């Protein structure tokens, strides 16, 4: 009767290790082993590196969004009924209120909510910026100097010209995005004209208003849309320019944890006066983030196919190994090894290749991610400052972030495929009839 050995005993490991190292002249498939190992290593390396870069890209995009824009924006939308008297005729008229007059009270309420870092009163509207015969539509944000100095991507942008210390001090001084400057050919010291339809209120409605401003600061956040449209001016100047008479049209709320916007929206909503409503940065950029998530899933599926193809090399090698080792299998079965023991021997052959290849791939992927800056420097040297030129134009070369979940997912996929697919040739070896294996020996 066939004897039984303990599962994955030292004896089985010894035979499996000997088969893996055996050269073709000895009935082994050493070359195929190396091909399978390299294939698994490169596939896992590509998967780990790609997931790290994609995580870095999302983090960079989020940093640009939350580093230069509010995390939650509070606005007013209410209807006020007023009585209009003309001679003997009296009529009640409804008008829309979209500005916040008592913004200090609103600001104090919101600032008291746990999780809120600060609240900035802002006047935000569109205006036409002109220089000579050239014009460009911009989004003007009236903000207090201290509040502007607390916006990370404006204070420490990837590129800047001028000094933000003069904001609020220089007469009619404004700060503009680099995209705006490029559109109009502006620089620090340039004087431009802003034109808005929200001017002085007259009997016939609001009349257009224009004013001259001096550019004192140019910044580049890395966000193309923001850099091509954003203009900052002191809050009191913006209130006068847009004719809001000491009010603001929004409160920009910054949170300690921008990713916790959903819970913070619920908390802030509880303290808002009637007519107040809000939206978060994810409400504005949610489609973009969802598109990134879908792209991540698609890349993971494609690279998973690459890992599967690399795992197929293990199957090919094991099938050849089983065929070449038919005589050995017959002898081992005759000596008393049962089918399960033979299955484990050949399973260990494939599992060892998959495990070691996965480990090497994870290490290479981690090294690549941790040295992504050196990779960009090498590409920059190889291309003749190509990376620097693209960065100056606003192109983003993402960082790489290693996440334990991404590494575990890549390693688990590789191990699962390589171990699982190894069972098929291993079962074939276990079911081999020892009499048939030794018939022609």
Contact 105, 276 (CB under 8 A): no
The pLDDT value recorded for residue 407 is 93
Per-residue pLDDT of the chain (441 residues; tens, 9 = 90+): 444 556 666 767 777 777 766 655 444 456 777 888 888 899 999 999 999 999 998 888 888 888 888 999 999 876 555 555 665 666 555 456 678 888 999 999 999 999 999 999 999 999 999 998 889 999 999 999 999 999 988 998 888 999 888 898 888 899 999 999 999 999 999 999 999 886 655 555 566 889 999 999 999 888 888 889 999 999 999 998 988 888 999 999 999 999 888 899 999 999 988 888 899 998 888 788 888 888 888 888 888 888 888 888 877 777 776 666 666 666 666 666 666 777 777 788 888 888 889 999 999 999 999 998 888 888 777 777 766 676 666 667 788 999 999 999 999 999 998 888 888 877 777 666 665 555 555
User: Cα dihedral sign for 22, 23, 29, 31?
Assistant: positive
pLDDT of residue 330: 65
pLDDT for position 62: 86
Query: Which phi and psi (to 5°) does residue 84 adopt?
Result: -110, 125
* Residue 411 pLDDT: 92
Q: Residue ranges of the domains in the chain? A: 10-65+289-438, 78-274
CA dist 69 and 385 (Å) reads 31
Do residues 70 and 120 lie in contact, with contact meaning Cβ atoms separated by under 8 Å? yes
Q: What pLDDT does residue 319 have?
A: 73
Q: What local confidence, expressed as pLDDT, does residue 391 receive?
A: 65
User: Which secondary-structure segment (H or E) carries 54?
Assistant: helix 30-68
What's the pTM? 0.75
The pLDDT value recorded for residue 28 is: 46
Q: In which residue are the tokens 């990134």 written?
A: 292
d(CA 119, CA 211): 28
Residue 26 pLDDT: 47
Helices 281-324 and 261-271, axial angle in degrees (round to 10)? 160
């Amino acid at each position: 009767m066939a004897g039984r050995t303990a599962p994955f005993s030292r004896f089985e490991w010894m035979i499996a290790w000997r088969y893996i190292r055996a050269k073709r002249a000895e009935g082994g498939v050493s070359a195929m082993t190396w091909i399978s190992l390299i294939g698994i290593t490169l596939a896992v390396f590509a998967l780990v590196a790609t997931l790290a870069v994609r995580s870095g890209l999302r983090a960079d995009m989020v940093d640009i969004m939350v580093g230069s824009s509010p995390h939650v924006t509070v606005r007013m939308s209410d209807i006020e009924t007023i009585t209009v008297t003309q001679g003997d005729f009296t009529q009640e008229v409804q008008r829309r209120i979209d500005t916040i007059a008592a913004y200090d009270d609103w600001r104090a309420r919101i600032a008291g909510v746990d999780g809120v870092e600060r609240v900035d009163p802002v006047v935000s509207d569109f205006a036409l910026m002109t220089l000579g015969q050239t014009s460009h539509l911009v989004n003007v944000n009236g903000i207090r100097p201290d509040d502007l100095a607390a916006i990370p991507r404006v204070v420490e942008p990837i590129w800047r010209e001028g000094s933000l210390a003069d904001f609020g001090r220089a007469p009619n001084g404004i700060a503009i995005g680099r995209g705006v400057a490029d559109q109009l050919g502006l620089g620090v010291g340039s004087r431009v004209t802003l034109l808005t339809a929200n001017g002085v209120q007259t009997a016939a409605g609001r009349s257009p208003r224009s004013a001259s401003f001096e550019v004192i600061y140019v910044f580049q956040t890395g966000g193309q849309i923001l850099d091509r449209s954003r203009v900052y001016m002191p809050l009191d100047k913006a209130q006068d320019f847009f004719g809001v008479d000491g009010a603001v049209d929004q409160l920009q709320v910054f949170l300690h944890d921008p990713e916790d916007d959903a819970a913070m929206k619920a908390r802030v909503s509880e303290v808002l006066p009637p007519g107040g409503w809000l939206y978060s940065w994810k409400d504005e950029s949610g489609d973009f983030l969802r598109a990134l998530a879908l792209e991540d899933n698609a890349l993971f599926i494609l690279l998973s196919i690459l890992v599967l193809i690399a795992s197929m090399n293990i199957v090919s090698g094991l099938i050849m190994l089983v065929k070449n080792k038919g005589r050995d299998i017959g002898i081992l079965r005759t000596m008393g090894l049962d089918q399960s023991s033979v299955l484990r021997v050949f399973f260990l052959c494939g599992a060892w290749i998959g495990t070691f290849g996965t480990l090497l791939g994870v290490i290479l992927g981690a090294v690549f991610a941790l040295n992504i800056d050196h990779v960009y420097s090498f590409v920059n040297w190889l291309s003749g400052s190509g990376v620097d030129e693209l960065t100056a134009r606003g192109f983003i070369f993402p960082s790489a972030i290693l996440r334990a979940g991404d590494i575990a997912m890549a390693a688990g996929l590789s191990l699962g495929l390589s171990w699982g697919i190894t069972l098929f040739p291993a079962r074939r070896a276990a079911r081999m009839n020892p009499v048939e294996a030794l018939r022609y020996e």
